[in-house]
Amino acid sequence: MKTEQEKEQTIIMSGNYAAAWGAKCSKVKVVSAYPITPQTTVVEKLSEFVDNKELDANYIRVESEHSVMAALVGSSMTGARSFSATSGQGLLYMTEMLHWVSSSRLPIVTTIASRGIAPPWNIWADYTDILSIRDCGWIIQFASTHQEIFDSILMAYKIAENSEINLPYFIVYGGFIQSHTSKPVRIPPQKLIDDFLPQPPKDGWGHINLDPDKPITHGNLVMPEQEYLDFRFLMQDAMIKSKETIKKTINGFNTKFGRNYNGLVEEYCCEDADVVVIAYGALAEQNKIAVDQMRAKGCKAGSLKLRYIRPFPTEELLELFNGKVEVIGVVDRGTAFGNPTGGPISTEVMSLLFRAKRKVKALPCIWGIGGRNVTVDDQVGLYEKLLRIKNKNEYPTDETCQHGTVWMGLKIGV
């Protein structure tokens, strides 16, 4: 292997390269890959790292995303740190194996450059891919900056490999605007990364370790009266318990690397806010500018970014609802056809309103589907809708509001 970098360096790179660098610096031992836009340059860069002997890993090329994840099931069961990346249709094709990974409690990390689902073909940012498999037992974190993509991979392995947790981990960012634009990313000295994230134990994870000399059978039939139900409960239990591990890991990372990441959510001007927009992904980051503009006009606006949706930040949201907020806008960049709001996360967030100690009004919204541009002006427009609800109890009546949900930018004619 080539010599490791001793000093921190800042490199201008795309979001996808930040993901590849994250895997490289985590010293993954196995990468399995199948190309799909807009993820492809993640695994291309990793193949380059392996070829240049900058990364000591087995690189397994297979014929489909289903096989990608099947290959990683095998490699992770031997205790090898395993990585892949995918997008859109590829993630959907992987779906069956995603359950094999989570139900085998394998700490695999995969990055998703999210894109719209076909038909019609669409390759731009839209989180319907990840949202449609949100309940398959993987931790799901959104990364809204390039630096966050890189840093999150280091934290992801630390969290996933914790023997109390042992759940696989998705890091999600939007296709193209994040995956293909370039920004400076700080790469810490490898020694510091190795201190934070040591190699996994040589004898594998505590619960499974493939060893030809000591054969075991895994995944056998379990009868209804045996422990199938109980193993499923353990997965939910691990998800809930992972919240503490996530927060501790983030704190440790912040201290060691001089970063400032929040826990399961990131609040912006929420403390005294009476209208708050709850969103996720890079548009939630952009939404802070809309908050600044609203604040300049004297409106008490706030923005809450969901960094994680699995595990769900229940306590953080209840704390917001039990505080001063009067109206929330809950935004999805993804669809769930036929559910109460049309957006999966707005439905989940609004279900918590029933547990709040006080009445909070809510307006669900869907924005940015299939990469549709969302400007700061659009986001300011959403705050103005929330203010009308707050001040006059007037819910939007224009045609972009359909079945109780605002479809931002819906074409309604002149």
Partner 1 sequence: MEKSNNQPAISTGYSSWRELPHIPVSIPCKGSIGETGKWRTFRPVLDAEACIKCGICYLYCPDGVILYQDDAVPEIDYTYCKGCGICVTVCPKKALEMVQEQQ
Which pair of structure tokens corresponds to residue 106?
Answer: 């394998």
Is residue 215 part of the contact set for partner 1 (CB under 8 A)? Answer: yes
Is residue 81 part of the contact set for partner 1 (CB under 8 A)? Answer: no
CA distance 193 to 21: 12
Is residue 393 part of the contact set for partner 1 (CB under 8 A)? Answer: no
The stretch among 153-161, 229-237, 338-346, 380-388 that binds partner 1 (CB under 8 A) is: 229-237
Asked whether 350 and 136 are in contact (CB, 8 A), the reply is no
Choice between 12 and 222, CB closer to partner 1: 222
CA distance 166 to 160: 5
Nearest-approach distance from CB 384 to partner 1, in angstroms: 50
The stretch among 21-29, 230-238, 354-362, 402-410 that binds partner 1 (CB under 8 A) is: 230-238
The DSSP 8-state label assigned to residue 369 in this structure reads G
Nearest-approach distance from CB 31 to partner 1, in angstroms: 23
Q: Which of residues 99-138 bind partner 1 (CB under 8 A)?
A: 103-105
Which among 350, 345, 19, 370 is positioned nearest to 169, based on CA atoms?
A: 19
Nearest-approach distance from CB 368 to partner 1, in angstroms: 38
The stretch among 209-217, 243-251, 281-289, 403-411 that binds partner 1 (CB under 8 A) is: 209-217
Choice between 221 and 296, CB closer to partner 1: 221
What residues contact 31, with CB distance under 8 A and at least 6 apart?
A: 23, 43, 46, 47, 50, 57, 58, 59, 60, 82, 83, 84
Is residue 233 part of the contact set for partner 1 (CB under 8 A)? Answer: yes
The 157-176 site mask, x for binding partner 1 (CB under 8 A), equals ---------x----------
Is residue 230 part of the contact set for partner 1 (CB under 8 A)? Answer: yes
CA distance 106 to 87: 20
Is residue 225 part of the contact set for partner 1 (CB under 8 A)? Answer: no
Is residue 236 part of the contact set for partner 1 (CB under 8 A)? Answer: no
Choice between 164 and 398, CB closer to partner 1: 164
Choice between 241 and 361, CB closer to partner 1: 241
Which pair of structure tokens corresponds to residue 8?
Answer: 């921190």
CA distances from 238 to 107, 168, 365 (A): 12, 11, 31
Paired sense of beta strands 327-332 and 301-306, if any: unpaired
Which among 290, 125, 126, 377 is positioned nearest to 304, based on CA atoms?
A: 290
Which pair of structure tokens corresponds to residue 227?
Answer: 């422990």
Residue numbers of the site for partner 1 (CB under 8 A)?
103-105, 166, 201-204, 206-209, 211, 213-218, 220-222, 227, 230-231, 233-234, 237-238
